[in-house]
Amino acid sequence: MTERRPLGRVLITGGASGLGAAVADAVAAAGGTPVVLDLDVSRVEGHEAVQADVSDTRAVEQTVRELVERLGPLDAVVTAAGIDRCGRLLDVEAAEWERVIGVNLLGTVAVVRAALPSLTERHGRVVTVASSLALRAVSDATAYCASKFGVLGFSRALAAETRGEIGVTTLIPAGMQTRFFDDRPDQYRPGADAKLNDPANVANAVLFALQQPEGCEVRELVIAHEEEPSWP
């Protein structure tokens, strides 16, 4: 049986909460070294953590480069940072709409760009976090859908561009039991009977992709609650 690949040092954006925090804990439990990058790291315990706004693309690129200089090369990057602003296009303020693109898409690209030399050196891996709404568009989610469709396209192109140099997996999760929905108006929050996945289960899927033996890549991975209504 082929042995799982060691995890090494894994940079996780959005690693202070939700899926990112679950990934950080899973990486540590599996013997890897998580490095958390988040807007608020005040509640992160037990992991290396650095404050950064991924939507400030030039600044976060510099932060990633400084992390590599200080800690050493990265073996993997997981881009779990994400936000949403629900509402019809004309009802969402332009600055808020564009911030969703800034965090979810441009932040993903900036972090990967800065980490790429280090990842190439280590023949490392990237797991970008898209969404079931990268495959299925819904009303009142133009910013989120645009950002996640963009993540999917970026990831596929990156996989083609870096074939044989690094691994690239696009994670496509459906709804999870996190605080992601907390700042939404009630009409956009999942109901009490919503079928949401445990983020720990999704984090295990991330580890599955990261630990594939060299030469074997999970290119796209959809993971959802068995009764998830948004898939397919």
> What average pLDDT does the segment 153-160 reach?
98
What is the model's pLDDT at position 232? 66
Residue 173 forms beta bridges with which residues?
Answer: 223
Distance, in Å, from the CA atom of 141 to the CA atom of 221, rounded to the nearest integer, reads: 22
Distance, in Å, from the CA atom of 46 to the CA atom of 130, rounded to the nearest integer, reads: 27
Distance, in Å, from the CA atom of 62 to the CA atom of 48, rounded to the nearest integer, reads: 17
Task: Considering the candidates 97, 144, 154, 180, report the single residue annotated as catalytic.
Answer: 144
Catalytic residue flag (residue 188): no
> What average pLDDT does the segment 218-225 reach?
94
Give tens-digit pLDDT for 102-152: 999 999 999 999 999 999 999 999 999 999 999 999 999 999 999 999 999
User: Is the pLDDT higher at 184 or at 9?
Assistant: 9
pTM beyond cutoff 0.85: yes
At residue 178, does pLDDT exceed 90? Answer: no
175 band by pLDDT with thresholds 50, 70 and 90: confident
Give tens-digit pLDDT for 69-90: 999 999 999 999 999 999 999 9
**DSSP string across the chain:** -PPPPP--EEEEETTTSHHHHHHHHHHHHTT-EEEEEES--TT--SSEEEE--TTSHHHHHHHHHHHHHHH---SEEEE-------S-GGGS-HHHHHHHHIIIIIHHHHHHHHHHHHHHHHT-EEEEE--GGGTS--TT-HHHHHHHHHHHHHHHHHHHHTTTTSEEEEEEE--BSSGGGTTS-GGGSPPTT---B-HHHHHHHHHHHHTSPTT----EEEE--TT-TT--
